[in-house]
Amino acid sequence: MDYKKIALEIMEKVCETDEVREDLDMDLFEAGLIDSLSSINILLEIEKKLGIKLQVTDLDKSDIATVNNFEAFLRKRSADN
Amino acid sequence: MIISSYANFFSLLIFSLFLIPAIVLGILGKKIKWYGIIISIPILCLLFGLTSKQMIQFAVFIVCETILIFSYYFFKKRATSEFVYYLTFALSMLPIFLLKMCVHVERFSFLGFLGVSYISFRIWQLIIEIHDEHIKTLSLPEMLYFITFFPTISCGPIDRFQRFKDDLEASIKPEEYLNDYLIFGIKKIFIGILYKFALAMLINTFVIEKLPAHAESFLGTLVYMYAYTFYLFFDFAGYSNLAIGTSYILGIKTPENFNKPFLARNMKEFWDRWHISLSKWFGDYLFSRFVLNTLRNGTFKSKKVASRCGYMLTMIVMGLWHGTYLFYVVYGIYQGLMLVITDVYLKSKVYRRFKKSKYYNVISRVICFQFIAIGMLLFSGYLFNF
């Protein structure tokens, strides 16, 4: 499965901008593109795309701070399931 | 609400004496974990009084909750049942529910003990995390130390078990302990003393106590509102700093509770800055779960509606958690409405257009502070004469 593609699609949708594609190590919190409430949207998107039901506490702030971190997180969670 | 732990210099002195061996261990680069666990026993006895009614209630409560948590923990290792989960959760809530109701019945009004509200948060967190399979191993001493961690027992900050456990196991180099734990902790304690025993006390003595006990005139109430807002901040932030400082000296990096709350530009930001450990707890374990679950099971179609209902529910529950009084419900409804209004406001064109402007931010802060102060006035119960 192409986790990079999924990670980018989810972040693009949640951040409502394709800016996320420019730098995969950009800190999305610092860039003001996501806040603590974005995690709910991210979890709903993960469920839609991968069918994994998670809670907010499954997600560390660092897991969604950059697209690359997020890709690693998705890869790990899919392996766990 | 007057916070009673670290209430005087005497208790601070006793605390400091117990901390000296911890400091020696830290400077030698040894683990403080077991020393901390052992001194919990005499310190808790000092806090509650060995033969007091409080001590008996506290002991019974801790024993029952421990049995409950471990029963669920062993059950969860073998099977998964949502019914058992909800039953465990309901049972764990029963004592605090009864205690909060007891204040209304004169015959039982002696019931209740220091920290029951905050200990409950830690217990519920454990149950939820066992259910979510985040807690895979649980040891009795660690669990007891976590839920009764004495620096934060009476009023938080509310820590998280995994974080707390990592700190317990961390090996800290002597130099690191000296700078990042000991000196930092002592600094925190001094700030705490300044806030609580100088600033909060001054405001209380020279303003609050000079005013009538309940709202009489508009002007008096206005003065009370601002005075109480600052009083509560300095008292609570002062207490939190004392608790955090003490924790650091014991090798536990208890999370911060305040981050310049009166600089908030809107009420959402305020809750990211005020009583942070409580609002994060409610954010993680009530609000986001409510929103996610109701969207998943189709109760709500729209995220906007789900999150706005979530704000109302979370804030009303938070109000009630402070106590089963009408003014706490009013306070909860007020804060819930504020978050809903803020949610609408943050999506508005005006906000998006001006949010980067310096003057707009200054004006936002001044206006937001008024809403914060009104909230504090409701919270104080000053308007309600009973």
Query: Tens of pLDDT along B186-214?
Result: 999 999 999 999 999 999 999 999 998 88
Give the model's pLDDT for residue A79. Answer: 85
Q: Which domain holds residue B193?
A: 174-249
User: Which pLDDT tens digit goes with each residue over A6-60?
Assistant: 999 999 999 888 888 988 999 998 888 887 678 899 999 999 999 998 988 998 8
Whether B292 sits inside 8 A of A44 (CB atoms) is yes
- Which residues of A are less than 8 Å from B303 in CB distance? 40-41, 44
Predicted TM-score (pTM) of the model is 0.91
* Nearest Cα residue in chain A from B296: A44
Q: Tell me whether residue B132 is in a domain.
A: yes
Whether A55 sits inside 8 A of B132 (CB atoms) is yes
Give the model's pLDDT for residue B153. Answer: 93
- Which residues of A are less than 8 Å from B288 in CB distance? 39-40, 55-56
B326 with B357, same domain: the answer is yes
Write down which residue in B249, B276, B295 finishes a domain.
Answer: B249
Closest CB to A55: pick one of B289, B303, B307: B289
Closest CB to B284: pick one of A43, A44, A57: A57
Give the model's pLDDT for residue B13. Answer: 78
The CATH number of whichever domain residue A17 belongs to comes to 1.10.1200.10
Give the model's pLDDT for residue B140. Answer: 97
CB atoms within 10 A of CB B299: 12
* Alpha-carbon gap: B10 to the closest alpha carbon of chain A (Å): 40
Give B 257-276 residues with CB within 8 A of chain A. 272
CB B79, CB B114: distance < 8 Å: no
Write down which residue in B249, B280, B314 finishes a domain.
Answer: B249
Give the model's pLDDT for residue B1. Answer: 33
Give the model's pLDDT for residue B6. Answer: 65
B312 with B291, same domain: the answer is yes
Whether A58 sits inside 8 A of B288 (CB atoms) is no
* Alpha-carbon gap: B229 to the closest alpha carbon of chain A (Å): 27
* Nearest Cα residue in chain B from A44: B292
Q: Tell me whether residue B386 is in a domain.
A: no
Say what the ipTM of the complex is.
0.85
B93 with B146, same domain: the answer is yes
Give the model's pLDDT for residue B110. Answer: 79
Give the model's pLDDT for residue B347. Answer: 85
Number of domains in chain B: 3
B263-280 burial by CB neighbour count: b if 16+ within 10 A, else e? ebbbbbbbbebbbbbbbb
B300-336 burial by CB neighbour count: b if 16+ within 10 A, else e? beebeebbbbbbbbbbbebbbbbebbebbbbbbebbb
Give the model's pLDDT for residue B107. Answer: 82
* Nearest Cα residue in chain B from A38: B288
**Residue B131 annotated as catalytic:** no
* Under-50 pLDDT residues of chain B: 1-4
Give the model's pLDDT for residue B328. Answer: 94
